[in-house]
């Protein structure tokens, strides 16, 4: 028998893979499940982005390998975007590199910087890929609490208590998945100061910075003084421009980190296709009117879920940004898994149990707003008929 490595044998399958199989079975039996679980955009990218892809894919010279660092025009577009959106000046040559979406950057960063026994601070609740990537590289993930009594904000004292000589990385994710919480510039500055003092790398995973509601505009960690000495930011076109399946994102910041990412990428992939780079460049350079209109649409969807949660949840946060609502389940249910299982099988609505995001997600659920308003209204009616 061919045996797997110990490190892969210890890894649990991605939650949504198993969920997909369950939903497929229900759909085959006529259940017609409505998915409010995974954060996959239901709408297409802007028309100009699709047009740019279509016009470029017809060309004869765009089908070969591309440079690991991506075309200059893409990196200049990223720099222009950061300048206009965050007032951050980046060097397109040395401080920006493309990614095949955020996940690739998450995994590769650990492969570059983590040796066995190194410690990586990860949020709890938090995106499961941080913990997976740390363990896969031989590191030790050290969870830090995002406390509901503090609006799921970072508690600096808790971070400081966890720092040791083996601390190598700190992951932050704002706007946060799954809680929808956000961060201010003062806290970002305090974290940068800690990283400079203790010499560890901060990564802000920030794919939701342009999915925001009302007047709040999520910041970039690169906006704070001295951040590029100790920090990089991972961003993506997946959520901002509804290009999740296109697999195009970017990492920005610390020059040495960018250089290292390019080295490992040169060994494991050949970057993305030129027509996708051209489409992404169009997206980054476009007028922001489309984003404002899309965000209003997402806010309307959010508000439908808010009204439902008012009737059933003892605690939930109204997010200022992102795709998700994070809510505590009614006490009559034993667990978040039980709540989600019954919502799925009895109401035909798929939600995400909070426990998959860490121990602090126990008794919470995540609800995604990546469905049309009409579909969300139907889902809410089903949920009310099942439990209200």
**What is the per-residue pLDDT for 3?**
83
CATH number at residue 247: 3.40.640.10
Q: Is 9 a residue whose pLDDT tops 80? A: no
**What is the per-residue pLDDT for 4?**
82
Domain that holds residue 277: 61-285
**What is the per-residue pLDDT for 15?**
81
Q: Considering the chain, what percentage of its residues have pLDDT values greater than 70?
A: 100
Structural domains of the chain, count: 2
**What is the per-residue pLDDT for 231?**
98
Q: What is the pLDDT of residues 194-246, one digit of tens each?
A: 999 999 999 999 999 999 998 889 999 999 999 999 999 999 999 999 999 99
Q: Smallest Cα–Cα separation from 238: which of 272, 267, 264, 200?
A: 272
Number of other residues whose CB lies within 10 A of the CB of residue 84: 12
Are 30 and 129 part of one and the same domain?
no
Are 185 and 273 part of one and the same domain?
yes
- Mean pLDDT value across residues 57-71: 93
Phi, psi of 214 (to 5 degrees): 60, -140
Residue 53: inside a domain? no
Are 194 and 297 part of one and the same domain?
no
Are 29 and 102 part of one and the same domain?
no
Q: Is 27 a residue whose pLDDT tops 80? A: yes
d(CA 238, CA 361): 25
Are 304 and 207 part of one and the same domain?
no
**What is the per-residue pLDDT for 244?**
96
Are 166 and 246 part of one and the same domain?
yes
d(CA 137, CA 115): 7
Confidence category of residue 112, pLDDT binned at 50, 70, 90: very high
Cβ atoms of residues 203 and 171 within 8 Å:
yes
Q: Is 277 a residue whose pLDDT tops 90? A: yes
Are 299 and 190 part of one and the same domain?
no
- Mean pLDDT value across residues 239-256: 97
Q: Exposed e or buried b for every residue in 90-122, given b needs 16+ CB within 10 A?
A: bebeebbbbbbbbbbbbbbbbeebbeeebbbbb
283 secondary structure, DSSP code: H
- Which one of 257, 285, 313 terminates a domain? 285
**What is the per-residue pLDDT for 16?**
80
**What is the per-residue pLDDT for 293?**
97
Residue 4 or residue 64, greater confidence:
64
CATH number at residue 18: 3.90.1150.10
Residue 155: inside a domain? yes
Residue 152: inside a domain? yes
**What is the per-residue pLDDT for 317?**
84
Are 99 and 208 part of one and the same domain?
yes
Residue 247: inside a domain? yes
- Which one of 237, 254, 285 terminates a domain? 285
Q: What is the mean pLDDT of the chain?
A: 94
Residue 54: inside a domain? no
**What is the per-residue pLDDT for 340?**
96
Are 192 and 89 part of one and the same domain?
yes
Contacts of 250 (CB under 8 A, 6+ apart): 78, 96, 97, 98, 99, 234, 235, 236
Confidence category of residue 114, pLDDT binned at 50, 70, 90: very high
- Which one of 255, 285, 315 terminates a domain? 285
**What is the per-residue pLDDT for 216?**
87
Taking CA atoms, 224 is separated from 10, 187, 220, 228, 345, in Å, by 38, 10, 8, 9, 47
Reported pTM: 0.94
Confidence category of residue 12, pLDDT binned at 50, 70, 90: confident
**What is the per-residue pLDDT for 386?**
95
- Mean pLDDT value across residues 66-76: 95
**What is the per-residue pLDDT for 128?**
93
Are 109 and 253 part of one and the same domain?
yes
**What is the per-residue pLDDT for 196?**
98
Cβ atoms of residues 346 and 388 within 8 Å:
no
Q: What is the SS3 assignment for 45?
A: coil
d(CA 176, CA 179): 6
Are 279 and 293 part of one and the same domain?
no
d(CA 345, CA 319): 28
Residue 55: inside a domain? no
- Mean pLDDT value across residues 310-328: 94
**What is the per-residue pLDDT for 226?**
97
Residue 139: inside a domain? yes
Q: What is the pLDDT of residues 352-383, one digit of tens each?
A: 999 999 999 999 999 999 999 999 999 999 99
Contacts of 343 (CB under 8 A, 6+ apart): 349, 350, 351, 383, 386, 387
d(CA 76, CA 90): 9
Residue 232: inside a domain? yes
Q: Is 180 a residue whose pLDDT tops 80? A: yes
Q: Is 26 a residue whose pLDDT tops 90? A: no
Q: Is 55 a residue whose pLDDT tops 80? A: yes
Are 207 and 250 part of one and the same domain?
yes
Q: Is 42 a residue whose pLDDT tops 90? A: yes
Q: What is the SS3 assignment for 279?
A: helix
Q: Is 1 a residue whose pLDDT tops 80? A: no
What DSSP line would sit under 55-124, residue for residue?
Answer: HHHTSTTSSS---TT--HHHHHHHHHHHHHHH-----TTTSEEEESSHHHHHHHHHHHH--TT-EEEEEE
């Amino acid at each position: 028998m061919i045996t797997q490595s110990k490190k892969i044998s210890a890894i649990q399958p991605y939650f949504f893979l198993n969920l997909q199989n369950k939903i497929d079975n229900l759909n085959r039996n006529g259940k017609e499940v409505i998915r409010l679980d995974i954060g996959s955009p239901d709408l297409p990218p802007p028309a100009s982005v699709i047009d740019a892809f279509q016009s470029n894919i017809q060309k004869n010279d765009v089908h070969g390998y591309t440079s690991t660092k991506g075309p200059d025009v893409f990196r200049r577009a990223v720099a222009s975007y950061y300048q206009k959106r965050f007032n951050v000046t980046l060097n397109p040559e040395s401080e920006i590199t493309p990614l095949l979406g955020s996940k690739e950057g998450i995994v590769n960063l650990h492969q570059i910087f983590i040796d066995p026994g190194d410690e990586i601070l990860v949020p709890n609740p938090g995106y499961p890929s941080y913990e997976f990537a740390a363990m896969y590289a031989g590191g030790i993930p050290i969870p830090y609490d995002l406390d509901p009594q503090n609006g799921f904000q970072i508690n600096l004292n808790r971070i400081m208590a966890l720092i040791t000589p083996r601390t190598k990385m700190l992951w932050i994710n704002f706007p946060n998945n799954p809680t929808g919480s956000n961060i201010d510039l003062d806290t970002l500055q305090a974290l940068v100061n800690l990283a400079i003092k203790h010499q560890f790398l901060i990564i802000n995973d920030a794919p939701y910075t342009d999915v925001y509601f009302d007047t709040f505009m999520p910041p970039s960690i690169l906006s704070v003084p001295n951040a590029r000495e100790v920090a990089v930011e991972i961003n993506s076109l997946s959520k901002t421009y509804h290009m999740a399946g296109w697999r195009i994102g970017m990492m920005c910041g610390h020059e040495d980190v960018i250089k290292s990412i390019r080295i490992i990428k040169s060994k494991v992939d050949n970057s993305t296709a030129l027509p996708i780079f051209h489409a992404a460049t169009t997206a980054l350079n476009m007028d922001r009117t489309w984003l404002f209109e899309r965000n209003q649409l997402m806010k309307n969807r959010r508000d439908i879920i808010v009204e439902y949660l008012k009737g059933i949840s003892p605690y939930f946060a109204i997010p200022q940004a992102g795709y998700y609502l994070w809510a505590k389940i009614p006490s009559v249910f034993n667990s978040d898994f039980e709540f989600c299982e019954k919502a799925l099988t009895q109401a035909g609505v798929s939600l995400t149990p909070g426990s998959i995001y860490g121990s602090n997600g126990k008794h919470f659920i995540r609800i995604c707003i990546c469905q049309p308003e009409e579909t969300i209204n139907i889902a809410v009616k089903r949920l009310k008929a099942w439990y209200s």
